[in-house]
Structure 1
Amino acid sequence: MTGPMSYLSICSSPAIRWISQVASTPEFASSASTFSLDTTRTLKMDKKMSSNREHEPDHDTARIYMNAYFQQSLESVFAVINRGQFETRLDSFFASGQKNDDAEWYALRNAVYASGCKVYLAQQCQTDSFDLSQAESWKYFENALSVHTELVYMRSGLMAIQALVTMGFYTEGLGNPALEYMLISSAARLAQSKGLHRQPVETWNMQQGEIRNRQWLFWIIYAYDKHIAYRSGRPSAIDDDDISCELPNAQDHHDINPNAAFVFQVISHAKVASRIAKDLTSVKSSKDHPTVLAQRAQGLECRLNLWRDSIPSDLQPGIPLSPTTIASPSLYPVLYLHFAYYGSLVAIHSIFVYPWYSSTNWVETSHSSKERIPISTTTLVEASRQIILAVKYIDVRRPWPAWLVFFYPLLGLINIFIYILKHPNLPTVPADLALMDVVTGHFGYLEFYSTSKLSFPFVGQLTNIARAAAKKSRGKDRTSMSTSHMEATSGELDTDAADRGQFTAINEVHSVQILDTIQTNHAIVRAIR
């Protein structure tokens, strides 16, 4: 969890030593330790599940949750479950007096109930909607989880895999134990045990429709697995070299899933993310010569940019969002691709920028790495700014996944924090501190909405440390200037003026965007009063 692709690397011993020394904050070690413990505690359940199962909803309520899942949940864009087939079986199940049950159908429908219940209750605009939606939906999730052993170790069909994936999506929601890594790992293993990673041959005697369904399900699992591996810094459960399953054709699935084109972009990005993990941040790659790593980073960034350029303009990262997009269901796909692109830039360049990695001997002794560091620093900090500037579009009252509400805002903040500590005198520091304030406000509102169930004081502590470091550095500069003899040529002054003009332009752009973000946050607060 503390590898270079994990936000928790800031809580590693080398990072704590560097920050404590540079910022003169020995108390940072305690803050980092507390944050790390609080965060990793959510990776497991706090208590054993009750042996008593929650009574399932009646037919009308079940249909309400089903409709909420398919119409309002974010994960429905991936079409893991065919709505027509699910609805037909659900109606038949109730018509038969809830007979003809088995473990995989029990798990799947309860996983749908859990996600649908959470979405439905969260949007009722009650003051306790966060607590209520969490408590009620979790009961149905426990129902589904209670048959996990049967899903994995007994004979089953594709429905068992669908159930595990749906359960994984649910646990990515805010306030849930973060069990998605283990659930998707189980789904990936079960899928591969059934041969979904292989392209069917004629002797398998499969119909074309069945082949398409298997392809679609496998590549959704693949994309989700790589997505989780990137965020957690943990290994993927799928080896790309073992895959012969062909990529799905978006056109073949468009009639069933109108978001098929978006999902295809997600899968394509996952393949790039997998390559980044293997070539730059794996244990094996850490032993490679830095010149090789620098070359790989350049090639991977080119590949990432080719992926970005292939995305339609209305979804493409870096393109300003239109008011129509912001107010439409397409906001989630846009944010997904935005964070995927800039998050991947961070993954590519972080090993050359983070001081607790770039200061190691293998970097210091490499000329190519020394050349790479300033290039990577510029790319990483600008990507982090773009991540934070998109935070204004995240309304924490909606049932967003934790990676959207928690991971990416925190990742952007940490990178800006490191940049300020390394360069506290740059003219961009005030604007970057304002960006950190935006993230601090975002987490503050999250704490308010969740009635303090989700509280992360570590975010504010990082902002305070960065601001203190910048203030201290400015004080040193003023003292040095007052005691030294100013000998500057007119040419040097002209150069300084030009530099100031350049950074002023940067600050002006960021200031406008930051003001827009702050105004948006104020509007949200007013709306709930």
Structure 2
Amino acid sequence: MAGPQTVLRPRISKSCDQCKARKVRCIRENASSVKCKNCWKRGQQCHYSHTKRKLRQPESFVPTPEDRDPGLSSANQAQANPEARKAGLYVDYLLENRHADGVRGWRTENSVVKTADHHIASSCLAFFSESRIRSVSERLGHNKLNELIDMIGAAINARMNRGANSGALIRFKSPSTPEYTSPEAAARYIQAYFDQVHPLYPFLERKEFEEKALSSQLPDYLAASPPFSALYHTVLALGCQYIEGGSFDPGKGKAWKLYQTALGLFSDVLLPKEDLTNLQALIAMSIFALNLSCIQIEETLISEAARMAQTLGYNRASSREACNRAFWVIYTLEKTACFFGGGTSSLNDYDIGCPIPSIPEAVIGGTDWFLSSARFARLVSKAYETLFSVTALLKTPDEYYSAISQVYDDLERWRCSLPKEVRPGEAFRPQYHTSSCSLLICLRSHFYYYGAVIALCRLTLHVGAGTESPYVEEAKKRLMYTARQIIENTRYIDAEPYTPIWMLGVIPLSALFILFDFVVHNPTHPETGTNLALLDVAAGYFSRLEYATGGSLPSSLLSDFSHIARQYVRDVQSNGRQDVSTDSRSAAQVDSYNNASTELAPPHQASIPTSVPDPVPLSYTDPLFYPTTDLQSYTGDDVPVSFDITNLFGAVIPNLPGL
């Protein structure tokens, strides 16, 4: 023990985490440099972790700049500074500390698949950081994963017109020859719209719209009001997808040609004087843009609609129900899109006073899906603010656990507010749905729920990295169970152009990533056989999706994940190798994992809530490994004993002090 005149003080490593991972010499210009030369050249976060050993120093010891952490991020400095945390918002900390580095974004290389090493985004798709790919590739013994991720990123970037080899560019320009639609066909498209789309997004008053759209004076209405013309043509385009089929590619098919007319009126919709019709046109255009063919412009349209809603003051109570309808539809669209896209909402929750109208068309099977969707949007808005925003970086680990627990409570209340037959988290029951619209609404709520759970589990694993918290053990089980549920439900996804790309591709792809990780890190675990089978199911789904898109979406390449994982398991078994995911740890570590799962709360963190989420129905007793340790100790076939979760998914938070 330290004597009365000495105390144990942590020591800062002389090499940053990135240089340790690459096993290169870490050189700084001088002792006060916040970045080493290597990280400066590579444009990476430079962080100097505490070593496991502590130095004995006199109590009167005053640290010099050389003794302080030169690479400590601004977020960590703010966490360690009680006064900064009292400031409330991270921007207040920045204003008080002019030389702070700030917090970088989570995206890297313009890719929606790769992410930076220092962030865990709420997005379900931004999984693989460069260091994460390196660690898995070393474990596999080849670079096929890296090549596969690059191919996926290239395919998505081409869809979004990033780079020289991009696909067709979507232009906000009217077609040279307007698409003619007979009154009879228009009536069918409008009927299909109100049958299939309106119950999900009930922002229109049907009687008022049809009085104009089916009137003999329609040409006059279209000529006099460009916003109404944009609304009318988008409604036709949405309905046309259900009658004559849509397209997975921009610019192809009758539905897209109708939509192109609306896009050509975009500037007229945005220009003053803005009113309800302008907003309705933008909302309709945003709904169409949820599909695969429009991923280039989805974010633009939704953000413009949200901006216009606030500009018009529809976030406050209005005497017109149509205004209230429009606001809550765009609120739901924008909040969920921001959460699952890892972005920041432009709608301020603290300034909303708009009542939620009662809409009979949105009540299906006794369930008010409009109200349920709005409640979920508010839930993820709070989750983003308290857990994934820049200001959330000011939280201590204890505060993170408490906030995560609160979001779980909110999520469970939302889940239980729905009837058991359609409740997210339960087995999906297609027999309870009498229409394709009802099935889609229910499946969307299931995927909403699973997407939120994935985000919470990823964050829990990061916060609890290196600890024996029961939260970490439960998060592993819950993450695997959730990924399985998603893959099982892919058989109910309608592989059609009108299906939102978030449901069609993002959530299933996230589940595939998760199960792939579990298989690779647990090749001899009792649950691995089931996970391999489900990876094959996912491969079949993505092959079916490529067939449905006519090759437009080359998703069959994702079947390689299943091949890589299955071959790795075979190699482990044929070579008689031990499952290094568990056997490389000491028996004491395994016992502590098992014991931790039965405790109510971590004994070393008394301020953490004393409950964990309800257990998932997985009854295995073998320890389940998931990489939450430090990359710097990774060598050869050995599984690292302290791999940081930031290297697994990328992060919203940097390394937490004290873990």
With normalisation by structure 2, the TM-score equals: 0.65
1:85 Cα deviation after fit: 1.2
Larger C-alpha radius of gyration, 1 or 2? 2
- AA of the residue aligned to 2:157: T
- AA of the residue aligned to 2:543: G
1:324 Cα deviation after fit: 2.8
- 1:90 corresponding residue in structure 2: 213
**Cα distance per residue 1:378-424 (max 9 Å; x no partner):** 11111111111111212314732212221221121111112222322
Gaps of 5+ in 2: 1-111, 162-166, 595-617, 623-659
- 1:46 corresponding residue in structure 2: 168
- 1:223 corresponding residue in structure 2: 332
Residues 1:32 and 2:149 are matched in the alignment? yes
Structure 1 241/98 Cα, relative in aligned 2: closer, same or farther at 3 Å? closer
Please list, as runs of the form range in 1=range in 2, the aligned pairs for 1:279-428 lying within 5 A after superposition.
279-322=386-429, 324-326=431-433, 328-329=435-436, 330-353=438-461, 358=462, 364=465, 367=467, 370-397=469-496, 399-428=498-527
Please list, as runs of the form range in 1=range in 2, the aligned pairs for 1:73-472 lying within 5 A after superposition.
74=197, 76-92=199-215, 94=217, 100-122=223-245, 134-200=252-318, 207=319, 210=320, 212-246=321-355, 248-249=356-357, 252-254=358-360, 257-259=362-364, 261-322=368-429, 324-326=431-433, 328-329=435-436, 330-353=438-461, 358=462, 364=465, 367=467, 370-397=469-496, 399-472=498-571
Give the Cα–Cα distance (whole angstroms) in 1 for the partners of residues 497 and 297 of structure 2.
Answer: 21
1:96 Cα deviation after fit: 5.7
- AA of the residue aligned to 1:17: R
Query: Does the 8 Å contact 1:276/1:347 carry over to 2?
Result: no
1:192 Cα deviation after fit: 0.1
Give the Cα–Cα distance (whole angstroms) in 1 for the partners of residues 576 and 397 of structure 2.
Answer: 35
Give the Cα–Cα distance (whole angstroms) in 2 for the partners of residues 4 and 113 of structure 1.
Answer: 36
1:25 Cα deviation after fit: 2.9
Give the Cα–Cα distance (whole angstroms) in 1 for the partners of residues 253 and 179 of structure 2.
Answer: 14
1:188 Cα deviation after fit: 0.3
Identity %: 25
- Runs (4+) of structure 1 exceeding 6 A deviation are 129-133
Give the Cα–Cα distance (whole angstroms) in 1 for the partners of residues 282 and 472 of structure 2.
Answer: 42
Which of the numbers 48, 66, 71 marks the counterpart of 2:195? Answer: 71
- AA of the residue aligned to 1:346: I
Give the secondary-structure state (helix, strand or coil) at the position aligned to 2:482.
helix
Query: Does the 8 Å contact 2:546/2:552 carry over to 1?
Result: yes
Structure 1 307/96 Cα, relative in aligned 2: closer, same or farther at 3 Å? closer
Give the Cα–Cα distance (whole angstroms) in 2 for the partners of residues 155 and 351 of structure 1.
Answer: 44
**Cα distance per residue 1:45-102 (max 9 Å; x no partner):** 7336355252342322221221221123x45432122221111111235466666521
- 1:15 corresponding residue in structure 2: 132
Give the secondary-structure state (helix, strand or coil) at the position aligned to 2:244.
helix
Deviating more after overlay: 417-426 vs 282-291:
282-291
1:301 Cα deviation after fit: 0.7
Give the Cα–Cα distance (whole angstroms) in 1 for the partners of residues 130 and 216 of structure 2.
Answer: 55
With normalisation by structure 1, the TM-score equals: 0.79
Query: Does the 8 Å contact 1:118/1:134 carry over to 2?
Result: no
Give the secondary-structure state (helix, strand or coil) at the position aligned to 1:18.
helix
- 1:508 corresponding residue in structure 2: none
**Cα distance per residue 1:92-119 (max 9 Å; x no partner):** 3546666652121011011112111222
Give the secondary-structure state (helix, strand or coil) at the position aligned to 2:200.
helix
Give the Cα–Cα distance (whole angstroms) in 2 for the partners of residues 272 and 312 of structure 1.
Answer: 19
**Cα distance per residue 1:267-295 (max 9 Å; x no partner):** 11111111221222223324432222122
Specify which structure has the higher proportion of strand. 2
1:346 Cα deviation after fit: 0.7
Give the Cα–Cα distance (whole angstroms) in 2 for the partners of residues 96 and 340 of structure 1.
Answer: 41
Query: Does the 8 Å contact 1:93/1:100 carry over to 2?
Result: no
Deviating more after overlay: 283-292 vs 179-188:
283-292
Query: Does the 8 Å contact 1:278/1:285 carry over to 2?
Result: yes
Of the two structures, which has the highest relative contact order with CA contacts closer than 8 Å and spacing of 6 or more?
2
Give the Cα–Cα distance (whole angstroms) in 1 for the partners of residues 288 and 152 of structure 2.
Answer: 24
Gaps of 5+ in 1: 124-128, 201-206, 496-500, 506-529
Give the Cα–Cα distance (whole angstroms) in 2 for the partners of residues 225 and 48 of structure 1.
Answer: 21
- 2:179 corresponding residue in structure 1: 55
Give the Cα–Cα distance (whole angstroms) in 2 for the partners of residues 301 and 364 of structure 1.
Answer: 19
**Cα distance per residue 1:171-222 (max 9 Å; x no partner):** 212333442221110000000001111235xxxxxx3xx0x32222211111
Give the Cα–Cα distance (whole angstroms) in 2 for the partners of residues 116 and 162 of structure 1.
Answer: 16
Structure 1 95/419 Cα, relative in aligned 2: closer, same or farther at 3 Å? closer
- AA of the residue aligned to 1:58: S
Give the Cα–Cα distance (whole angstroms) in 2 for the partners of residues 41 and 91 of structure 1.
Answer: 40
Give the Cα–Cα distance (whole angstroms) in 1 for the partners of residues 482 and 298 of structure 2.
Answer: 26
- AA of the residue aligned to 1:25: H
1:161 Cα deviation after fit: 0.9
Aligned alpha-carbon RMSD (Å)? 3.1
Give the Cα–Cα distance (whole angstroms) in 2 for the partners of residues 80 and 351 of structure 1.
Answer: 35
- 2:630 corresponding residue in structure 1: none
1:30 Cα deviation after fit: 2.6
Give the Cα–Cα distance (whole angstroms) in 1 for the partners of residues 579 and 511 of structure 2.
Answer: 33
- AA of the residue aligned to 1:62: A
Query: Does the 8 Å contact 1:313/1:319 carry over to 2?
Result: yes
Specify which structure has the higher proportion of helix. 1
- AA of the residue aligned to 1:278: E
Give the Cα–Cα distance (whole angstroms) in 2 for the partners of residues 42 and 236 of structure 1.
Answer: 24
Query: Does the 8 Å contact 1:54/1:143 carry over to 2?
Result: yes
Give the Cα–Cα distance (whole angstroms) in 2 for the partners of residues 144 and 95 of structure 1.
Answer: 16
Give the Cα–Cα distance (whole angstroms) in 2 for the partners of residues 85 and 228 of structure 1.
Answer: 29
Query: Does the 8 Å contact 2:289/2:295 carry over to 1?
Result: yes
Structure 1 393/327 Cα, relative in aligned 2: closer, same or farther at 3 Å? farther
